[in-house]
């Protein structure tokens, strides 16, 4: 590989500036292609390497500060193909969720992504409430969200479903596709221009791996047959991976997510629910609770049907989830501060003795 490989991988002036302090230390910039069980596969101007975390990065950093697929890292790269990751460069974008096994910890699902394909299948899998959640987190990530509706070959009459999606995906491109017939795939390819990274996010069985193979033009990822009983494919992707495309872009496929809990997505919520936010801003009182107050624009819109009640309830549900997360994080921080104070007090007593 040559130096131009960095640009092909998505390198930019912002990453170059962040790497500058390390350029004279025998270290190199590299991008994380896969990560599994503490082992990483990297691509750089020196070629592919397998790498581990340096001890300090492994032990002294939170999980969110450790590399995720798509990250740019500062690494020692050796001639035998092995390497050691010492630092993670600041992320341009990050799609994060609350870790499923932890009540108040962030998990970065995809880093330094330019576009997020929010993939859902037409038919029984289509759930606009779930799509609202994905849109909220995609807007928060800093990447451009695009809705991709798959399996159009199974649902040729999809006008009503498309209209339902477009009613909640304000300002978001929506594409109807079929990996079987090839319909809509050319439109998706333009998002993955050279050096651009597209992440595919969606629940299990919606056809993400099939979509990756169709865009790549070859069978890169395993796929499974669609079950007639529920029109869903079996879950096939088991890890996150950056996949190169023929025209120079990159796809980041992710395992299907049964649960997608919000993480610090206040701004994303306002963008995903721009219509609701506009109504809230038009209420007579800034602290309107949208219950019995006079001059409430939200209640007026609910009353005349301009704002569907299901969408308002979805907005309120996500708001409550974010408030609960904020409270938990605040309580955890307070607890950590109290513990640190107790540790300091004990150390002072030992010193005095």
Tens digits of per-residue pLDDT, 39-90?
A: 999 999 999 999 999 988 888 777 778 899 999 999 999 999 999 999 999 9
Provide the pLDDT confidence category of residue 7 given band limits of 50, 70 and 90: very high
CA 247, chain centre distance (Å): 23
Q: Would you give the distance in Å from CA 61 to the centre of its chain?
A: 21
pLDDT band at 260 (very low <50, low <70, confident <90, very high): low
**Sign of torsion over alpha carbons 65, 69, 71, 76:** positive
Q: Give the C-alpha separation, 147 to 237, whole Å.
A: 20
User: Above pLDDT 70, what percent of the chain?
Assistant: 80
DSSP class of residue 205 equals T
Asked if pLDDT for residue 326 goes beyond 90, the answer is no
> How much is the pLDDT for 267?
82
Q: Which of 190-204, 234-248, 331-345 has the highest mean pLDDT?
A: 190-204
Compute the Cα dihedral for 226, 227, 233, 238 and give only its sign: negative
Q: Half-sphere exposure of residue 269, counting CA atoms within 13 Å on the CB side?
A: 18
pTM of the predicted protein model: 0.80
User: What rounded mean pLDDT belongs to the chain?
Assistant: 83
* Three-class DSSP category at 121: strand
- 3-class DSSP state of 149: strand
How confident is the model at residue 58, as a pLDDT? 86
**Domains assigned to the chain:** 4-88 (2.40.50.140), 94-253 (3.40.50.300), 266-346 (1.10.40.50)
Residue 96 has a pLDDT of 80
């Amino acid at each position: 590989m040559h130096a131009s490989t960095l640009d092909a991988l998505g390198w930019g002036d912002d990453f170059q500036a962040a790497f500058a302090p390390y350029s004279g230390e025998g270290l190199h910039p590299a991008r994380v292609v896969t990560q599994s069980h503490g082992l990483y596969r990297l691509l750089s101007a020196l070629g592919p390497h397998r790498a581990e975390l340096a001890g300090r990065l492994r032990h002294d950093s939170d999980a969110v500060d450790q590399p995720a697929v798509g990250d740019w890292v500062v690494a020692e790269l050796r001639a035998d193909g092995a390497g050691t990751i010492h630092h993670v460069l600041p992320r341009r974008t990050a799609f994060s969720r609350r870790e499923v096994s932890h009540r108040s910890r962030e998990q970065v699902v995809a880093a330094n992504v330019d576009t997020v394909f929010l993939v859902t299948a037409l038919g029984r899998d289509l759930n606009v409430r779930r799509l609202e959640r994905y849109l909220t987190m995609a807007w928060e990530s800093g990447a451009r969200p695009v809705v991709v509706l798959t399996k159009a070959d199974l649902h040729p009459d999809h006008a009503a479903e498309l209209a339902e999606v477009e009613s909640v995906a304000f300002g978001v491109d929506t594409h109807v596709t079929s990996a079987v017939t090839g319909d809509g795939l050319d439109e998706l390819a333009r998002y993955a221009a050279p050096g651009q990274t597209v992440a595919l996010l969606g629940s299990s069985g919606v056809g993400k791996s099939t979509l990756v193979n169709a865009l790549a033009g070859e069978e890169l990822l395993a796929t499974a047959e669609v079950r007639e009983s529920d029109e869903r494919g079996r879950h096939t992707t088991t890890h996150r991976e950056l996949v190169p495309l023929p025209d120079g872009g990159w796809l980041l496929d992710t395992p299907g997510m049964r649960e997608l809990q919000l993480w610090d997505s206040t701004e994303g919520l306002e963008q995903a629910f721009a219509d609701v936010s506009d109504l809230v801003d038009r209420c007579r009182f800034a602290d309107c609770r949208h219950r019995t107050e006079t001059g409430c624009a939200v209640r007026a819109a609910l009353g005349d049907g301009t704002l569907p009640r299901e969408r308002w309830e979805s907005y309120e549900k996500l708001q409550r989830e974010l408030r609960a997360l904020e409270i938990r994080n605040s309580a955890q921080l307070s607890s950590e501060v109290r513990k640190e104070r107790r540790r300091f007090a004990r150390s002072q007593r030992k010193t005095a003795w």
